Copies of this chain bind each other. A is one copy, B any other.
Amino acid sequence: MDAKTQKSELTRAAIVGAGLDLASEQGLEAITLQAVADRIGLSKSGVFSRVGSREALQKATIDEFGRRFLAEVFVPAMQAPKGLPRLDAIVQRWIVRTRDVEAHTGCIYSAGAFELDDREGPLREHLHTEIIRWRGALRRAVLQAVEAGHLQADTDADQLVSELNSLILGLLHDARFLRDSRAADRALATWQRLLRSYTA
């Protein structure tokens, strides 16, 4: 990459990083070209020339969150053997990432779902597609654990995926809103209880 391309990549990364910060603090609708420009000392037209419309910037922010989330939660868990060890690694990493959310970007998938649930339009559609894609990956990990005989043969994968998502939403609520220091331990206890009920 030549110096000019590198500079351009860095600027784009700074723009999307500012989008992530805004979404994390105030929601996806807080992302505007002007707000991002103000954060990183660019002009509004400078932001536009690099990412395009406000909507394109909002979508790029969701995509960047998805990349980071996969890199932090899913990719490292792929090192664990297929089946329950891998599923367990995914869930444990997901819980830890959610507990330590202050150190990362807030969960834009979850907060975004509550923010956009009764709106319509391309931003909602985009987030919906990304969340469905992530749930698909989680579902495959559940099915692999069933195929390996680690979970009961009659496990309803959609049900378990939905219960795992509920567990994380509850953890976000208790850790971030109630500021309850026991929230992550409770989430781990819920996961152990779920595991027992699907392996018994």
Q: List residues of A whose CB falls within 8 A of some B CB.
A: 24-25, 27, 106, 110-111, 113-118, 128, 131-132, 156, 158-159, 162-163, 165-167, 169-174, 176-178, 182-183, 186, 189-190, 193, 196-197
Q: Assess the A114–B111 pair: CB atoms within 8 A.
A: yes
Q: List 25 A-B contacts (CB under 8 A).
A: A24-B118, A113-B177, A114-B114, A114-B115, A114-B177, A116-B177, A128-B178, A131-B177, A131-B178, A132-B178, A156-B189, A158-B186, A159-B186, A159-B189, A159-B190, A162-B174, A162-B183, A162-B186, A162-B190, A163-B186, A166-B166, A166-B169, A166-B171, A169-B170, A197-B197
User: Which residues from B are CB-within-8-Å of A176?
Assistant: 117-118
Copies in the complex: 2
Chain B residues with CB under 8 Å of A182's CB are 158
- Chain B, Cβ-Cβ closest to A170: B166
> Which listed residue (B111, B159, B163, B173) contacts A165, Cβ 8 A?
B173
